[in-house]
Amino acid sequence: MDNYQTIVGLGRDAIDTPALLIDLDALERNIKRMADFFATVPAALRPHTKTHKTPIIARKQIEAGARGITCAKVGEAEVMVANGVDDVLIANEVVGATKIARLMSLARHAKLTVAVDDPRNVAELSAAAQAMGATVGVLVEVNVGMNRCGVEPGEPALQLSRQVLESKGLRYRGLMGYEGHVVAMPDRQQREAACLKAMKLLLDTRAFVEAAGIPVEVVSGGGTGTYDITGRLPGVTEIQAGSYVTMDSAYGRLNLGFEQALTILVTVISRPSRDRAILDAGMKAMAVDHGTILPKGLPGATVAPRLSEEHARLDLVDVDLRPGDKIELIPGHGCTTINLHDQFYGIREGRVETVWQIAGRGRFR
């Protein structure tokens, strides 16, 4: 925590750049807005913490009513459990002896659930659980149209569910299906129609598995773009939305009602001409995988789409900016941008209130 003691209480411009800022009021309102929605439906929120990778934010989400958290990787889950989170879904396949051993160690310290889509993986998880005296919850992942992981709906999901049910050391909990091909569709009606089509595959599979006599306790899916579509469906029990807490420009286009809490503070390092300024942050500080990076509160400025490693170009029309000025940018994709940084600077009323370590960043194993 390099400059924690000297920076707290100072104004935003005292922060060296590039730096990630969190508007704490906006973050808290986003957490509350999502919690308020889940107070009105039977499904619970299990926020995906791959967005912020920061235990204190996970804790705030849980304090606001979230059932537990979702992680993408064992490494993320290790960080969260070590910081007191006790109920984690790894919404992903955990494959290979090394990771499975870590998973089972972790399962001795927290309630863990993992996704599966392969019979050999199920056998390996079961053998490791027995060898280590651990129990891990399991969701069978169903492909609901994203064509990433997951068995096909219906019979293949039933067969794998049976295998899990019969496997020692594993506790069959139900089904998961992530409609990732749908969550970012800009048009609400199209998104809703596509989402219902995807989730029908999952809910029909639930009915099919239950008709075979297997109780399905958990049906998990959903993202920020679909939380209030999937989250209202009878039979869905948990929603994995993550990005809502910080937001980014890609989700901003969907007008979901969440506020942009995350920005990147950058410094102008050069003003070579009237129509351009150069910033001290490039693709090593801001992800470029999707979304458009937007200058905050600077009409007349746009960020040129091609970033250098350590530079970005601002194209300007009548904007007064000079070397040394600090401005904020809205990331195109929050999750991958946050993963590039060690710390969040929590800002309230223009001052640094806190510095949070992004303890799970880079934990991709």
Ligand X SMILES: Cc1ncc(COP(=O)(O)O)c(C=O)c1O
Binding interface with ligand X (CB under 6 A): 48, 51, 91, 178, 180, 183, 223-225, 240-243
Please state the closest distance from residue 227 (CB atom) to ligand X, in A. 8
* CB-nearer residue toward ligand X: 177 or 282: 177
Residue 303, SS3 per DSSP: strand
Alpha-helical segments (H) within 170-269:
188-211, 227-230, 249-252
Q: Which is nearer to ligand X, 154 or 180 (CB)?
A: 180
CB 144 within 8 A of CB 153: yes
Beta-strand (E) ranges in 80-187? 87-93, 111-116, 136-141, 170-176
Phi-psi group of 238: left, alpha or beta (phi > 0 → left; psi -120 to 50 → alpha; rest → beta): beta
Which C-beta is closer to ligand X: that of 238 or that of 280?
238
Minimal distance in Å, beta carbon 199 to ligand X? 13
Residue with tokens 């995988």: 289
- The region that residue 84 occupies, defined by phi over 0 for left and psi between -120 and 50 for alpha, beta otherwise, is left
Distance CA 365, CA 360 (A): 11
Between 51 and 61, whose beta carbon lies closer to ligand X? 51
63's tokens? 């304090």
Residue 91 CB, shortest distance to ligand X, in Å, is 4
Q: Which is nearer to ligand X, 222 or 282 (CB)?
A: 222
Residue 179 beta carbon to ligand X: minimum distance, rounded to whole angstroms? 9
Distance in Å, CB of 180 to ligand X, minimum: 6
Determine the Cα angle at 212 with ends 207 and 215, to 5°: 65
- Six-digit token pair at 159? 């067969």
Q: Measured from the CB of residue 274, what is the shortest distance to ligand X in angstroms?
A: 39
In this structure, what token pair is assigned to residue 193?
Answer: 């129609």
Tell me the residue number closest to ligand X, measured at CB.
223
* Number of other CB atoms surrounding residue 79 within 10 Å: 22
Q: CB of residue 308 vs ligand X: minimum separation in angstroms?
A: 27
Residue entry with tokens 């901003």: 252
Q: For ligand X, which is the closer residue by CB, 132 or 149?
A: 149
Q: Of 125 and 183, which CB lies nearer to ligand X in the complex structure?
A: 183
In the complex, least distance from residue 301 CB atom to ligand X, rounded to whole angstroms: 27
Closer by beta carbon to ligand X, 88 or else 241: 241
The token pair at 2 is 């390099």
Handedness of CA 324, 330, 333, 334 (dihedral sign): positive
